[in-house]
């Protein structure tokens, strides 16, 4: 094992250069104009697998969606098998003017690599490719069978992947699924995430009069759709931060006493959090701490709102239409389907007759809760300790990786969420970056995991 770690340490510079090449590909999944870049990113990965002597390298969904890349390296059918999952797609870059260096021209500053996708998820995903390579290239036997499944649609809700997993159940058969697409509790504390929130995302269109109206001639006589929308949205949450949609909390799995105590022990500083975010006060559901609110309680956010006149100067107008994008983070055991039904029932009751509305469901994903009492998690904790020099903490997180549930359900394998990112690394915002020290430790951690898991399983 020492040789493998040695190999990783002396090849770090090369790994960083390769990661830069990967980061240069603008694989924004939501942008139809980037279709060819998606293929380029998939081909980049496939060429890396091919250089490592992987077998069965292919795209599992040649006919629809951005390519899902698959590759495997079999050493011995008697040895256990790990399936690594990650995503090569990234979020859009706007507002572009706020980036210090261009999003697809990776740069190293302050021991970090700066580019869109650096921490979410290209950099984290790449740790696993390089840990496997370190075994192969240093001449140490790869201790177990390795499979990779890497998608390009995670940031748009993984529309193709559930079907791909179901259709390839045998191909993907494994003893454990390892995913590095989450964060560490803080820069000093390695972490294993055991729960993620789900998501239900909607767009609402409110229509008032059949055309834009002069606000003098008609003002005071008809409901303004923007007003109706604002009333509707503000009525969805009360002043205690509780969501008012009837039935919304019915399926929410309460936090256990042990969890609440565990969260408290993390000594989360609300003061430092406020300072980092530039706010003077926090707001959330009454009766819960910030960690509880973001990790284990559902929430509703307005992601965007528009309508009427927003150009220069003034225009006296009552618009015909108003729009909003709203999303709800869900926790176990809520489901996007049930929440959609509840929202529909709510809208049919509260939207006034003076306007009409249309609701569109954009995407969703189930929350995940992964058992932590198994050898996969114990081995992951040991690997983290070896790589980071410190016991990991067990945390939940507020973000979503919709496919996690499908892996558990369809492949019946434990899922391990090994996070090497940091919540301060600007994922989804300008100046995304990834700490190179954590990149390095992440590669080591992955190598330790392969070595240890092959011995306990
Ligand atoms: N890697 C994130 C999820 C994440 C973020 C987990 C922070 C833990 C902490 C992932 O790429 C992501 O952004 N997911 C989306 C899912 C959505 C588009 C369906 C999310 O959470 O908004
Ligand atoms: Mn991600
Ligand atoms: Mn993301």
| Atom number of ligand 1 nearest to Cα 419 | 8
251 an active-site residue?
Answer: no
| pLDDT over 90 (residue 334) | yes
According to the model, what pLDDT value does residue 127 have?
98
141 an active-site residue?
Answer: no
pLDDT tier, 10 (very low <50, low <70, confident <90, very high otherwise): very high
Pocket test for ligand 1, best of 92, 154, 196 (most atoms within 8 A of CB): 154
According to the model, what pLDDT value does residue 457 have?
80
| pLDDT over 90 (residue 121) | yes
**Domains of the chain, earliest start first:** 2-196+367-453 (3.40.630.10), 198-252+298-364 (3.30.70.360)
- Chain-centroid distance, C-alpha 163: 19
Q: Report the percent of the chain where pLDDT is more than 90.
A: 99
| pLDDT over 90 (residue 47) | yes
Please give the model's pTM, rounded to 2 decimal places. Answer: 0.95
- Say which of 37, 72, 89, 397 is annotated catalytic: 89
Tens digit of pLDDT for each residue in 422-446?
999 999 999 999 999 999 999 999 9
Q: Residue 148 and residue 129: Cα distance in Å, rounded? A: 9
- Report CA(132)–ligand 1 centroid distance (Å): 25
Mean pLDDT of 244-255: 98
Mean pLDDT of 229-244: 98
Name the average pLDDT for the chain.
97
- Say which of 154, 406, 425, 435 is annotated catalytic: 154
Q: Name the residue with tokens 């929440």.
A: 339
Mean pLDDT of 270-290: 97
Using a 6 Å CB cutoff, which residues line ligand 1?
120-121, 154-155, 157, 181-183, 196, 199, 363, 365, 397, 399-402
Q: Report the percent of the chain where pLDDT is more than 70.
A: 100
According to the model, what pLDDT value does residue 302 have?
98
Q: Residue 369 corresponds to which tokens in the numbers above?
A: 């809760």
Q: Is there a contact between 83 and 174 (Cβ–Cβ < 8 Å)?
A: yes
According to the model, what pLDDT value does residue 339 have?
98
- Report CA(120)–ligand 3 centroid distance (Å): 5
Q: Residue 393 and residue 326: Cα distance in Å, rounded? A: 32
| pLDDT over 90 (residue 283) | yes
Q: Residue 391 corresponds to which tokens in the numbers above?
A: 């016991």
């Amino acid at each position: 094992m020492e040789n493998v770690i040695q190999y990783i340490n002396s090849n770090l510079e090369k790994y960083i250069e390769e990661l830069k090449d990967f980061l240069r590909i603008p694989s924004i999944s939501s942008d139809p104009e980037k279709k060819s870049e998606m293929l380029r990113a998939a081909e980049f990965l496939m060429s890396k697998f091919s250089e490592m002597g992987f077998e069965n390298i292919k795209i599992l969904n040649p006919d629809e969606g951005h390519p899902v890349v698959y590759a495997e390296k079999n050493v011995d059918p008697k040895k256990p098998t790990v399936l690594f999952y990650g995503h090569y797609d990234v979020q859009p870059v706007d507002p572009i003017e706020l980036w210090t260096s261009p999003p697809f021209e990776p740069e190293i500053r302050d021991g970090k690599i700066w580019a869109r996708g650096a921490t979410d998820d290209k950099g984290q995903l790449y740790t696993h490719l390089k840990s496997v390579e370190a075994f192969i290239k240093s001449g140490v036997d790869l201790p177990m069978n390795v499979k990779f499944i890497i998608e390009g649609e995670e940031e748009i809700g993984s529309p193709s992947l559930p079907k791909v997993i179901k259709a390839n159940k045998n191909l993907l058969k494994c003893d454990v699924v390892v995913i590095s697409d989450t964060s560490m509790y803080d820069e000093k504390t390695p972490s294993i995430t055991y729960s993620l929130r789900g998501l239900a995302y909607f767009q609402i269109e409110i229509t008032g009069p059949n055309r834009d109206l002069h606000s003098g001639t008609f003002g005071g006589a008809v409901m303004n759709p923007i007003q109706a929308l604002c009333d509707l949205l503000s009525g969805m949450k009360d002043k205690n931060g509780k969501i008012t949609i009837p039935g919304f909390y019915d399926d929410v799995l309460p936090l256990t006493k042990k969890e609440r105590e565990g969260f408290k022990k993390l000594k989360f500083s609300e003061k430092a959090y406020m300072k980092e975010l530039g706010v003077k006060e926090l707001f959330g559901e009454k009766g819960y701490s910030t960690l509880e609110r973001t990790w284990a309680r559902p929430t509703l956010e307005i992601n965007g709102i528009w309508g009427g006149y927003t150009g220069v100067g003034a225009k006296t107008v009552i618009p015909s239409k108003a729009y909003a994008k709203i999303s709800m983070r869900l926790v176990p055991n809520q489901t996007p389907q049930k929440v959609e039904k509840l929202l529909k029932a709510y809208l049919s009751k509260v939207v006034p007759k003076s306007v009409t509305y249309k609701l569109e469901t954009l995407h969703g994903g189930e929350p995940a809760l992964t058992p932590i009492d198994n050898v996969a998690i114990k081995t992951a904790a040991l690997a983290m300790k070896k790589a980071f020099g410190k016991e990991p903490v067990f945390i939940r997180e507020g973000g979503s990786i919709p496919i996690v549930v499908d892996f558990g359900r369809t492949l019946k394998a434990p899922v391990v969420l090994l996070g090497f990112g940091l919540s301060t690394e600007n994922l989804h915002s300008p100046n995304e970056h990834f700490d190179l020290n954590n990149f390095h430790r992440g590669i080591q951690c992955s190598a330790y995991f392969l070595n240890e898991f092959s011995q306990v399983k």
